[in-house]
Structure 1
């Protein structure tokens, strides 16, 4: 009797072990298949979006769809653009080449002009057999490097993002004949640029599902770029009186004379509001938040389509903001300088077979996205690119990556380290902020003798970055 019981127990154990081995083998093969099958890429670029999202610790912003993706992805808390202006930032990322004094200068920058011999990120995927599609704003000029980059002509909506849908909005109300900077008409989402981009992207996903080719699908949204035009329902998500404005609406102490804020917002009309007042700051933040919530809905529609079509399990998803943005800090609105708010960008990367629901403090630059996506898809990269793959961080989010991120804008070069931001202006002026002690960058400590040794190190490190940037010819 005892022997029979023992044999049954042993038989049960054998079955349990075999079942466990079978389960392990199935999971292993599934993981192996995910890494050997050519993955698709959905690259979502969002204009002027700074890390002002719930998943970045900004609960006042309602961004449930991006937050949901973040819960399934790796969120980069320390990602930085290389140029804080849209055209140059995009050209730099899409070629993985750093800016210099003569390359990728401003919003007019074009990859085909500044680096005509360089291949682009979609270009290398196209060469690797991918169907590469661009909808909305990816390059600043959608025809930039068009032939080498895309499988078909880039698609743009037939309506400008700055066209008013509010009959009460004066057509010409600013210094450059632009309209008012805000509107909240009670209209459907579909009248605006970004919804048309989302709808086109969803239509393409439905076609790509049945394609024999893997895809690199780029989807570029404009909002929250000014003007702050979004349907009324997104404005209604926020109580303007409860909106907290910046508490450092003053110029940084000891700031160099060459430090400037963007003047772009001044080209719009302000209606009844007077700049620099409390009411103006609340209105501008309200408009920005409403536009973030509007574009979040469009992102959600695209991601839901990806899921419902059964494409999510083999698609790498990237959400990237092209540069940072000041929301009234130092009385600045927009980008166009080397302060931290203008340089830090949201970067969320979902890779189905990598870490999920994690945040990382690894320092990365926008130029690193190009080689990372190529690494994940086993696509060869040109030997001249300047970015580095951070795919190891996607496996282990606690892993360190760069010791400093590099950026420049017109008259200043800058680096961001774990605790500091340092800028050198072309006239010799410098900025140094200890963000550990002064996270809002209110006091430039470059003349404080306490930081003299660190300052020497930053000068050397910045010079190394500049030399690397100028090495590409």
Structure 2
């Protein structure tokens, strides 16, 4: 009798567990959840683990528990070109998106975008915030999509969901000029608006609502949370500036020049306006501008932290890989009053890049990786880590393997008649200015196209004030070797056939 009761109890328990929904969060270790955190114009050194003057405790915790790639760079120092490169796993000259202009229509994509690959592999895909494809397009693989700016068909837009809040934010941002990047946008102010009426605040709330009630436990999750800040304007919600002492804020020192010395990026993007204003700005204005940029970073960090805590409560992080990166950096007044990006100098091209989470191999956790990492590497890295086949045309490296490249690459196409290409190691940087090809096919450039260059010893001149390109020096052999490496890299840098056309 006792045995029969025991058997009956075992059958009931077995049936109960058989009916319980399988959880995509932890059951299949080969399919970890992917949490993709991104922001805009975040300097590589604007993290507390790199510069203790910046308060980013949540991102610091990721960096300390995961892998910090401390030599990572973007492939184009501007939003649209950089983000297209990253999401398609191709270099800008291969996507055809070279500047902050028109992006690639849905019918002419050069490759399959990352969210689409995850969706088709069975992941639940949810995107919150900026992608900046550069045109009105579809959601490109996101099943759930909320976005504050840059229209995507079938996405929920802030102007439709919270029109009054969006209108109040737009009225506030008008004082900061186009792109919120005028001088007053950089100087900034404490915003009187509540966080939820800021675009990033609205996006955060939508993400938290999704985490709380819309995650599908039957599938692994690909969640993308991307903010518009710390990109100027520096209109920080109340409370975040209070975490800093403006009197202790150190800001950019200037080179001993009387005019700009940036051959590959001379005159681009508001140069005269910035120089005129900030060369006359007071010490207090410089401190406020720099402090508010950092306060923006702290605000962003706080919102990331809230999302991660909500995911942890749901069990999503029990089996997950977490990415944090930015699309490019921010000069913040360095190198003769240079602001935003649009150049190949360190604070523009270097980006914060972290891989963390329980799916990271244990031996790699809590490490710093000094390899020449690129944003284009995220495409094959995330696909490989989740067991999804990497498309053949992908050009990046798997950052969780030990693959290496001799140097990292970035390209600038801001001047009509010339292109500039960077080849960078931790010790040296070469920038070649080349007569621009009409078809922008990088594989056709040769030494005959070189019209000038810049070369820097990053160890002894991290501020890049001393251009050694034309100066006889002990670096001549290194410069020539890097020139040949860059030319060889460009030669192999073929344009990719349109993916949609190839599919047909």
Quote the Cα distance in structure 2 between the aligned partners of 1:300 and 1:177: 25
Deviates more, 1:284-293 or 1:108-117: 108-117
Unaligned runs of at least 5 residues, structure 1: 1-32, 393-398
Could you tell me whether the CA contact under 8 Å between 2:181 and 2:233 is conserved in 1?
Answer: no
Aligned match of 2:158: 157
Within 5 Å, which residues of 2 pair with 1:270-281? 276-281=281-286
Aligned match of 1:443: 466
Quote the Cα distance in structure 1 between the aligned partners of 2:222 and 2:180: 38
Quote the Cα distance in structure 1 between the aligned partners of 2:134 and 2:406: 33
Aligned match of 2:446: none
| Gap change, CA 1:166 and 1:125, over 3 Å in 2 | closer
Deviates more, 1:289-298 or 1:354-363: 354-363
| Gap change, CA 1:254 and 1:267, over 3 Å in 2 | closer
Please tell me whether residue 407 in structure 1 is matched to residue 415 in structure 2.
Answer: no
Aligned match of 1:212: 218
1:283 pairs with 288, 313, 328, which one?
288
Could you tell me whether the CA contact under 8 Å between 1:406 and 1:414 is conserved in 2?
Answer: yes
| Gap change, CA 1:66 and 1:156, over 3 Å in 2 | farther
Please tell me whether residue 356 in structure 1 is matched to residue 349 in structure 2.
Answer: no
Could you tell me whether the CA contact under 8 Å between 1:363 and 1:402 is conserved in 2?
Answer: yes
Q: Secondary structure at the match of 2:224?
A: strand
Q: In the comparison of the two structures, how many residue pairs are matched?
A: 431
| Gap change, CA 1:365 and 1:178, over 3 Å in 2 | closer
Aligned match of 1:465: 489
Q: Structure 2 length normalisation: TM-score? A: 0.77
1:185: how far off? 3.0
Could you tell me whether the CA contact under 8 Å between 2:380 and 2:397 is conserved in 1?
Answer: yes
1:324: how far off? 1.4
1:257 pairs with 255, 263, 267, which one?
263
Q: Structure 1 length normalisation: TM-score? A: 0.82
| Gap change, CA 1:341 and 1:164, over 3 Å in 2 | farther
Quote the Cα distance in structure 2 between the aligned partners of 1:100 and 1:329: 28
Deviates more, 1:239-248 or 1:404-413: 239-248
1:50-107 per-residue CA deviation (whole Å, 9 max, x = no partner) reads 1233444211111111112222211110111000000110000000110129822112
Quote the Cα distance in structure 1 between the aligned partners of 2:168 and 2:52: 29
1:281: how far off? 2.2
Aligned match of 2:439: none
Could you tell me whether the CA contact under 8 Å between 2:95 and 2:495 is conserved in 1?
Answer: no
1:252: how far off? 11
Aligned match of 1:11: none
Could you tell me whether the CA contact under 8 Å between 1:252 and 1:441 is conserved in 2?
Answer: no
Q: Secondary structure at the match of 1:149?
A: coil
Aligned match of 2:247: 241
1:428-453 per-residue CA deviation (whole Å, 9 max, x = no partner) reads 11010010111111101112322222
Deviates more, 1:448-457 or 1:427-436: 448-457
1:334-392 per-residue CA deviation (whole Å, 9 max, x = no partner) reads 10011111110001111313232221112111110000000000101211111121112
1:461: how far off? 1.2
1:215-236 per-residue CA deviation (whole Å, 9 max, x = no partner) reads 2111110111111111121112
What is the aligned-residue RMSD (CA, Å)? 3.2
Quote the Cα distance in structure 2 between the aligned partners of 1:175 and 1:164: 17
| Gap change, CA 1:252 and 1:369, over 3 Å in 2 | farther
Could you tell me whether the CA contact under 8 Å between 2:78 and 2:99 is conserved in 1?
Answer: yes
Deviates more, 1:369-378 or 1:104-113: 104-113
| Gap change, CA 1:198 and 1:171, over 3 Å in 2 | closer
Please tell me whether residue 345 in structure 1 is matched to residue 351 in structure 2.
Answer: yes
Aligned match of 2:68: 75
1:266-305 per-residue CA deviation (whole Å, 9 max, x = no partner) reads 889x9x9875543332222122111111111111111111
Quote the Cα distance in structure 1 between the aligned partners of 2:228 and 2:179: 20
Aligned match of 2:41: 48
Aligned match of 2:394: 385
Aligned match of 1:87: 80
Aligned match of 2:447: none
Quote the Cα distance in structure 1 between the aligned partners of 2:35 and 2:103: 23
Aligned match of 2:99: 106
Could you tell me whether the CA contact under 8 Å between 2:29 and 2:319 is conserved in 1?
Answer: no
| Gap change, CA 1:107 and 1:222, over 3 Å in 2 | same
1:244: how far off? 0.7
Quote the Cα distance in structure 1 between the aligned partners of 2:389 and 2:133: 25
Quote the Cα distance in structure 2 between the aligned partners of 1:233 and 1:291: 11
Quote the Cα distance in structure 2 between the aligned partners of 1:303 and 1:135: 14
Unaligned runs of at least 5 residues, structure 2: 1-25, 145-153, 414-418, 436-450, 498-504
Quote the Cα distance in structure 1 between the aligned partners of 2:178 and 2:227: 26
Please tell me whether residue 125 in structure 1 is matched to residue 128 in structure 2.
Answer: no
Q: Secondary structure at the match of 1:227?
A: coil
1:456 pairs with 480, 485, 502, which one?
480
Could you tell me whether the CA contact under 8 Å between 2:260 and 2:266 is conserved in 1?
Answer: no
Quote the Cα distance in structure 1 between the aligned partners of 2:124 and 2:327: 24
